């Protein structure tokens, strides 16, 4: 009888022969592509040991899907080296919805190259090459990767630092070095790479569910000081149907891209003369921005906030006191030497609000004390991450800070969460969940363990009390305290981080903020940061994509356009427009020489909510005909009723 060992599968112990692999336990579960052994992901070829706890990970699981994508990245890299001999390999990790791989190649890839590579990848998939893992020492790894300079660099960094280099976790990770060989049926090596794995057993599992999306330039290990490589992005899914569904989502996202709509609808632009990541709003975009500002200003005042204003620039010492400068100087615009001091464009508003609090003595009777402003801040984002309105270098925050007693903190956080969720719903974003960002192991966090634990417990208790889904985000906190962020899903299911609420016990101490308590003692307040939009620019971009540019009437730059059937009907529509303007509606009358059908097409493309058409019968009856954005029409509506219908839709913030 062969030697046995005991392993636990699905909570039940069982005896298996020595030499049993993880895959042997799941031969009847064809969707299992990798195993979790004692909590760690392992290849299905991994031999089990006494006492191992084993769980099969299907390709539908996020971990299983990530492994499939990483394996497909290796298939792509093999195809690249076949077609472009001499290409050197960078890194190729899985990412959200896909993967990428970086290459040092003689010329940039073209769209035609990607099509050719896809065909070669299909051949590699059909060959059914096996992914085989080998543990190697540093010297052996160097010998086998002698022709791959970027891999040699990673090996050197691993050897000297004892940990993975930034961005290279998929290559070397923690522990010893490993190499994966792609073996053909005859046992010959088709491809080899330094990689920590795990991988799917065979290239066949990549099936037909992959596609190469685009290529771009990327600096090695993300540093502008390093060589520029060529990156290919791809996606991989368990089936062709899932791939097709994803491609349809991509196509819809492209149709909704706020950068394209910003041009088509004449909302905003990014002039080269001003600089990357710095937006200018055109008149129509200015209308949407003003409506957003008017709304959130009014709502802050209703919620007990006092409006304040602070400058765009400050001496650097202010940001040293707050603790920001040591952590964020690299993402702040360079300091300017003026009058024997170094000034910075502000990247955050909170230090200046602290100075307002500290400007005179405060009593417990004033708390909660709430400050709010439209604070313009500037952050030197790398050009590679600047993206339309959603990642800019100059942004305006609807920034607020509440100063409260420790006992008031839970109530204030509940108050802010109600404010935030109500705001999102008013703007049509009513599908959201909460994320709790807490302290990680990094040395970037300041404050004691006890303070962090207390702050985190308060946020968690309040968040759980809302009944909303709460997702943990370990290590995602700001350096001064934990935070709750509201993650909103848009019309096509994408998730965006919107509003944030942060519990800060550090800055009040650093600025020596205090209030006089009921017993006459001096006490330190808790500071709660909150941004409802996050930034106006980002929120504007998200709204544009959520509505595909068809803003609800209350936000639409032009709410109504009057279209006469003939010149004789212009005066009638001008009278209707005058009444609408008197009621606060943004309205135009198109009296150009174009024919009526062309005018309708023009304004429909501009996504105007209401088109009012008038012909001879409408003039005679004191009426108009409604044409809505979906092409439907309502004829012969009395002018007074039409005005009330429009005013009501704007007032109730309905979508039409």
Catalytic residue positions, numbered: 350, 379, 397, 399, 401, 483, 529
CA–CA separation, 296 and 302 (whole Å): 10
3-class SS shares of the chain: helix, strand, coil, % to 5: 35, 30, 35
DSSP string, 552-593: -TTT-SS-EEEEESSGGGHHHHHHHHHHHHHTT--EEE--SS
CA–CA separation, 1 and 512 (whole Å): 75
Contact 472, 416 (CB under 8 A): no
> 536-546 and 283-302 helices cross at what angle (nearest 10)?
110
Q: Please, what's the largest Cα pairwise distance for the chain?
A: 102
Residue 652's Cα: distance from chain center in Å?
30
Q: What residues does 133 pair with on adjacent strands?
A: 180
Q: Binding residue per annotation — 401?
A: yes
For 565, 566, 585, 602, 637, the CA distances from 614, given in Å and listed in that order, are 6, 9, 18, 17, 10
Q: Binding residue per annotation — 529?
A: yes
Other beta carbons within 10 angstroms of residue 210's beta carbon come to 24
Q: What residues does 378 pair with on adjacent strands?
A: 394
CA–CA separation, 648 and 656 (whole Å): 12
Q: Binding residue per annotation — 70?
A: no
CA–CA separation, 347 and 310 (whole Å): 12
Q: What are phi and psi of 40, to 5 degrees?
A: -110, 140
Binding residues: 350, 401, 529
Binding residues for Zn(2+): 350, 401, 529
């Amino acid at each position: 009888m062969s030697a046995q060992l005991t392993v636990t599968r699905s909570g039940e112990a069982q005896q298996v022969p020595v030499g049993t692999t993880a895959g042997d336990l799941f031969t009847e579960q064809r969707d299992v592509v990798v195993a979790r052994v004692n909590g760690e992901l392992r290849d299905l070829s991994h031999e089990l040991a006494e006492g191992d706890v084993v769980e099969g990970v299907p390709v539908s699981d996020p971990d299983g899907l990530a492994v499939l994508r990483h394996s497909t990245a290796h298939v792509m890299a093999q195809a690249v080296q076949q077609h472009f001999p001499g290409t050197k390999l960078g890194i190729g990790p899985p990412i959200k919805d896909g993967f990428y791989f970086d290459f040092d190649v003689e010329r940039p890839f073209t769209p035609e190259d990607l099509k050719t590579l896809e065909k070669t990848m299909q051949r590699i998939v059909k060959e059914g090459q096996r992914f085989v893992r080998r543990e190697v020492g540093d010297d052996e790894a160097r010998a086998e990767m002698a022709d791959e300079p970027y891999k040699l660099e990673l090996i050197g960094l691993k050897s000297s630092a004892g940990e993975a280099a930034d961005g290279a976790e998929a290559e070397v990770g923690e522990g010893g070095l490993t190499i994966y060989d792609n073996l053909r049926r005859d046992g010959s090596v088709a491809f080899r790479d330094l990689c920590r794995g795990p991988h799917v057993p065979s290239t066949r599992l990549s099936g037909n569910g992959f596609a190469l999306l685009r290529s771009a330039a990327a600096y090695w290990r993300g540093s502008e000081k390093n060589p520029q490589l060529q990156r290919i992005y791809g996606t991989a899914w368990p089936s062709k149907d899932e791939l097709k569904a994803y491609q349809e989502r991509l196509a819809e996202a492209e149709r909704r891209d706020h950068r394209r709509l910003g041009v088509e609808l004449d909302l905003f632009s990014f002039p080269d003369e001003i600089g990357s990541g710095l937006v200018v709003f055109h008149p129509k975009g200015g209308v949407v921005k003003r409506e957003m500002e008017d709304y959130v200003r009014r709502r802050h005042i209703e919620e007990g906030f006092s409006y304040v204003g602070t400058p765009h620039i400050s001496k650097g010492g202010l940001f040293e006191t707050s603790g920001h400068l040591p952590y964020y100087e690299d993402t702040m615009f360079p300091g300017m030497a003026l009058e024997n001091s170094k000034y910075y464009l502000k990247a955050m508003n909170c230090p200046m609000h602290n100075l307002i609090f500290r400007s005179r003595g405060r009593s417990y009777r004033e708390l909660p004390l709430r400050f709010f402003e439209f604070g313009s801040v500037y952050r030197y984002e790398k050009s590679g991450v600047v993206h339309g309105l959603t990642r800019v270098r100059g942004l305006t925050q609807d920034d607020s800070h509440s100063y409260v007693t420790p006992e008031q903190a839970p109530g204030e956080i509940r108050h802010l969460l109600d404010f935030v969720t109500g705001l999102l719903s008013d703007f049509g974003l009513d599908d959201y969940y909460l994320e709790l960002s807490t302290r990680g192991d990094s040395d970037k966090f300041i404050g004691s363990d006890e303070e962090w634990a207390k702050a985190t417990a308060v946020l968690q208790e309040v968040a759980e009390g809302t009944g909303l889904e709460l997702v943990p985000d370990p290590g995602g906190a700001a350096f001064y305290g934990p935070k709750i962020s509201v993650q909103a899903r848009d019309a096509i299911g994408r998730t965006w981080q919107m509003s944030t609420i942060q519990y800060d016990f550090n800055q009040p101490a650093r600025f020596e903020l205090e209030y006089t308590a009921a017993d006459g003692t001096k006490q330190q307040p808790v500071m709660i940061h909150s941004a409802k939009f996050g930034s106006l620019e980002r929120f504007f971009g998200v709204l544009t994509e959520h509505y595909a540019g068809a803003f609800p009437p209350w936000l639409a730059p032009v709410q109504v356009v009057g279209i006469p059937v003939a010149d004789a009907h212009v005066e009638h529509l001008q009278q209707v427009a005058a009444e609408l303007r008197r009621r606060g509606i943004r309205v135009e009358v198109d009296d150009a020489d174009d024919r009526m059908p062309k005018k309708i097409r023009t304004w429909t493309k501009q996504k105007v909510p209401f088109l009012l058409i008038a012909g001879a019968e409408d003039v005679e009856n004191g009426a108009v005909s409604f044409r809505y954005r979906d092409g439907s029409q309502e004829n012969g509506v009395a002018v007074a009723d039409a005005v009330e219908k429009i005013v009501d839709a704007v007032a109730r913030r309905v979508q039409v």
